[in-house]
Every structure is written in C-alpha cells, then in structure tokens.
C-alpha cells in the first residue's frame, strides 16, 4: 500500500527542535548529564490553590461533561483580570474567547482571516507557530525584521506598498519569544493607525505578560483604538505554570473573536471544566505568587548573564520573558555554536535561525532550570573552552 501525504505537508518539515532532541538523546545515551535550556516549558509547579481546585473538582462526576466554550465565570475572570491589571474594560460575553492554549488561537486565526495568497506580516525572528498558521492557511509570509538598532521593534515604514495591499493580518509579540523585547505605547499607537489605514487585523501574542523584571509590559488593548483593529492572546501556561493544562484566551475585537469562535466550534469541545475553574482562581489571585515567580526567573537571568560575563561572553539582560536572546561569539553560526554547546558542554540551547533568517547570529536560552543546574551549565561551558575557541 502506497500512502502519500498531502502536498501541504511539505511546509511542515521536521523542526530544529527534533534535531536538538536527537543530539540530546545521543549525549544522554553516552551517560552524560544534559542541561536543557532550549524549550520554554516552565519547571515550576502551578500555585497550590490551582492544584487543590483541580483535585477537588476531578472527583465530581459532573465535571467531565463537554464544556463546549468558555464558562461565564471564566470569561468574567478574564475581563476582571484585564480591568485590574491593565485598566482595560472587556465585555465578557463577546470580547473574550476561550482557547486550548495560545497555540490553538495562533495557528487557527490565519484560517479565519486569510485566503490563499493573502499576506501575513510577522516578526522575524518569531515564534514558530506563526509560520505554521500561515502555511496551514496557504497564506504568504512577509517577515518584519527585529533588529537591535531599532530596539527589536518592526519598522512599519519599510514594508512595501504592494505587500501592504495584500495583507490581512499582522502578528506582534511583546515581550517576545524568542526576542524578549518590550513594546512602547508610541509603537502600539503607530500600529493602530497603520492597521486602520490599511484594513489589517492585528494579533498581539501576550503570553509573557506576567514574566517581567524591570518594567511592566503594555497590553496592546490598553492603547486607544486597539480593540477596533485587533485582539490579544494570552495564556496561563507561563504566568501560572499551567502549560500542560492547555488553557488560554483571546480578548478584544468582538467580530474577529466571533469568526475564530465559529471555526473552533467545528474543531474542539472546549477545555476541561476543572481546568477552567482553576484558571478562574489564578486570574483573580491577588497573592504574591506572581511576584515570587518573577523573582525566581530574575535570579536565574542574573545568574546566567553575570556568569557568561565572567566567562568573557557579554550578553544583553532581558527586561521580561523567560528567555535570553544572546548574540553568539564571533566565529560561529547559530547552529554550529549550538552543536558545540551540546557536544562539548552538554548544554542545550536553541539556534536563533530556527525562528527566521534574522535570528542568525543569536541563540535563545530558556530560564527553565533551577539555579543549581544553571551553575553546572556555566561550569560545563567554562571547562569546554568553547568561548575561547575561534572557528575558522
């Protein structure tokens, strides 16, 4: 029997993460202790009150029905969170939409808005799900370079007019993955005017809204006029360490959310009701959990940045997010440096070019290991001599 995949699968080749996993397994098979700083999966547990709520509700038989959509309480909890955290007022009935994790919304929104051949403006380097969503919708991609000289903000003035005329969607991500840059209110205001002028929907991926160190990130929806042109997606995966629970939401423009909701009604049956109830507690929490979480990630950030500096590798300290975007030493490519770190130091990071052509020359380092492992990673790198080896 000959089984052939559909042509569209040609766009979904094996990712660089699969290659990294192979190299990691190879080192593990040799008996090495490997420290993985590549995947942005929180190693910290969710709040105890979240765990307890899940335990309580899982034992109730009526918790296992289809939820179909976000409960009224979940939608209200999102609205309450936005009002309290960003002074943004949302109508919970039509300006909030439940998602099965941010990736659910990020990948499916292009299907809702784009016909084959339409353009999507997206950050480069950018999260890989953006590219997957565009390919699934047979949309064209126009990369917006994120460059240090422009504070890693896209330069909208450089986008060609012929591309703008064919564009349906712009994707933004601040604080970002892999680039942990912060947007300014002036930039978001420029985006709103640009989107209104050219009839482009804006999607702001706000998954790292609560992982900040030096200044609080700005919600796109807090900028005047933003709700007229776009939506914001946020997740409990990173902020509340609920990654495996797969719960997130989109908020903002009611028309866009209605369209996405129509598609989702044909794809899934909602998020497990106990998970929604636990998420409501998290969104309404006023304890110091998030502050404590931020302090843990901040200590990890400082330990890595200062440790690398002592080894002769000076990198920029991020103001937010769970990642460090590090310019690699001279003489390497992103991939060759990553391979050297795995094979000689048993440390796994992600090459920057995995996130787009403008990521070449960088690596992404995730703050997802305890301090003891970070100290060991620094020692492994020191002993390896990688930072003092120039590749010809």
Domain total for the chain?
2
The 10 Å Cβ neighbour count of residue 385 is: 11
Residues 100 and 196 in one domain: yes
Looking at the chain, the whole-number percentage of residues with pLDDT higher than 90 is 92
Q: Return phi, psi of residue 192, to 5°.
A: -60, -45
Residues 90 and 195 in one domain: yes
Residues 293 and 251 in one domain: no
Q: C-alpha distances in angstroms, 339 versus 126, 281, 347?
A: 21, 42, 9
Residues 76 and 36 in one domain: no
pLDDT of residue 16: 76
pLDDT of residue 347: 98
Residue 9 has pLDDT above 90, yes or no: no
- Asked if residues 284 and 173 have their Cβ atoms less than 8 Å apart, the reply is no
Residues 72 and 204 in one domain: yes
pLDDT of residue 366: 97
**Pair of tokens at residue 13:** 């080749």
Q: Is residue 304 assigned to a domain?
A: yes
pLDDT, tens only, 204-214: 999 999 999 98
- Sequence-distant (6+) residues with CB within 8 A of 304 are 324, 365, 367, 374, 378
Q: CATH code at 244?
A: 3.40.640.10
Residues 251 and 296 in one domain: no
The pTM of this model reads: 0.96
Residue 371 has pLDDT above 90, yes or no: yes
Question: How do strand 323-327 and strand 362-366 relate by DSSP bridges?
Answer: antiparallel
Residues 193 and 316 in one domain: no
State the helix-helix crossing angle for 128-136 and 102-113, rounded to 10 degrees. Answer: 40
Q: Where is pLDDT greater, at 379 or 389?
A: 379
Which three-class secondary structure state does DSSP give residue 392? coil
pLDDT, tens only, 255-279: 999 999 999 999 999 999 999 999 9
Residues 360 and 299 in one domain: yes
Q: Return phi, psi of residue 124, to 5°.
A: -135, 110
pLDDT of residue 314: 95
Question: How do strand 350-351 and strand 167-173 relate by DSSP bridges?
Answer: unpaired
Question: Which residues constitute the domain of residue 174?
Answer: 65-284
- Domain C-terminal end among 284, 312, 345: 284
pLDDT, tens only, 220-249: 999 999 999 999 999 999 999 999 999 999
Q: Is residue 378 assigned to a domain?
A: yes
Cα 47 to Cα 292: distance, rounded to the nearest angstrom: 11
Sequence-ordered alpha helix ranges (H) in the chain = 16-29, 48-58, 72-86, 102-113, 128-136, 161-164, 185-198, 226-229, 254-264, 273-284, 289-310, 334-345, 371-384
pLDDT, tens only, 29-62: 999 999 999 988 999 999 999 999 999 999 988 8
Cα 365 to Cα 368: distance, rounded to the nearest angstrom: 9
Q: Is residue 120 assigned to a domain?
A: yes
Residue 390 has pLDDT above 50, yes or no: no
What's the mean per-residue pLDDT of the chain? Answer: 95
Q: How confident is the model at residue 389 (pLDDT cuts 50, 70, 90)?
A: low
pLDDT of residue 14: 67
Q: In this structure, what DSSP letter does residue 168 have?
A: E
Q: CATH code at 33?
A: 3.90.1150.10
Q: C-alpha distances in angstroms, 230 versus 30, 84, 111, 158, 200?
A: 50, 21, 16, 21, 8
Cα 264 to Cα 348: distance, rounded to the nearest angstrom: 36
Residues 332 and 277 in one domain: no
pLDDT, tens only, 275-334: 999 999 999 999 999 999 999 999 999 999 999 999 999 999 999 999 999 999 999 999
Residues 14 and 122 in one domain: no
């Amino acid at each position: 029997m000959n089984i052939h995949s559909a042509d569209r699968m040609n766009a979904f080749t094996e990712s660089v993460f699969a290659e990294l996993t192979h190299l990691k397994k190879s080192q593990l098979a040799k008996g090495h202790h490997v420290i993985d700083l590549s995947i942005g999966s929180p190693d910290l547990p969710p709040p105890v009150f979240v765990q307890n709520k899940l335990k309580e509700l899982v034992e109730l038989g009526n918790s296992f029905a289809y939820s179909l959509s976000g409960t009224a309480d979940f939608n209200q909890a999102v609205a309450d969170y936005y009002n309290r955290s960003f002074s943004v007022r949302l109508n919970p009935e039509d300006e909030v939409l439940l998602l099965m994790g941010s990736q659910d919304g990020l990948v499916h929104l292009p299907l809702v808005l784009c016909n084959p051949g339409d353009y999507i403006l997206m950050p480069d380097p950018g999260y890989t799900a953006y590219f997957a969503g565009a390919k699934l919708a047979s949309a064209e991609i126009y990369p917006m370079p994120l460059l240090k000289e422009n504070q890693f903000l896209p330069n909208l003035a450089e986008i060609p007019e012929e591309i703008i005329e064919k564009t349906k969607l712009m994707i933004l991500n601040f604080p970002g993955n892999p680039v942990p840059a912060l947007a300014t209110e002036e930039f978001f205001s420029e985006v709103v005017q640009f989107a209104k002028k050219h009839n482009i929907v804006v999607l702001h991926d706000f998954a790292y809204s609560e992982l900040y160190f030096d200044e609080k990130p700005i919600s796109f929806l807090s900028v005047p006029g933003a709700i007229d042109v776009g939506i914001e997606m946020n997740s409990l995966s990173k902020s509340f360490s609920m990654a495996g629970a797969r719960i997130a939401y989109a908020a903002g423009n009611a028309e866009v959310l209605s369209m996405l909701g129509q598609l989702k009604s044909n794809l899934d049956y909602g998020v497990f009701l106990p998970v929604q109830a636990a998420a409501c507690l998290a969104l309404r929490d006023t304890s110091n959990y998030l502050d404590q979480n931020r302090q843990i990630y901040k200590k990890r950030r400082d330990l890595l940045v200062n440790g690398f500096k002592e080894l002769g590798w000076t990198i920029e300290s991020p103001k937010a997010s769970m990642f460090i975007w590090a310019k690699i030493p001279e003489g390497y490519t992103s991939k060759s440096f990553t391979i050297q770190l795995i094979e000689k130091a048993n440390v796994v990071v992600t090459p920057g070019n995995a996130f787009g052509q403008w990521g070449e020359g960088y690596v992404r380092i995730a703050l997802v290991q305890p301090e003891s492992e970070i100290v060991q990673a620094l020692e492994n790198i020191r002993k390896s001599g990688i930072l003092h080896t120039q590749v010809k």
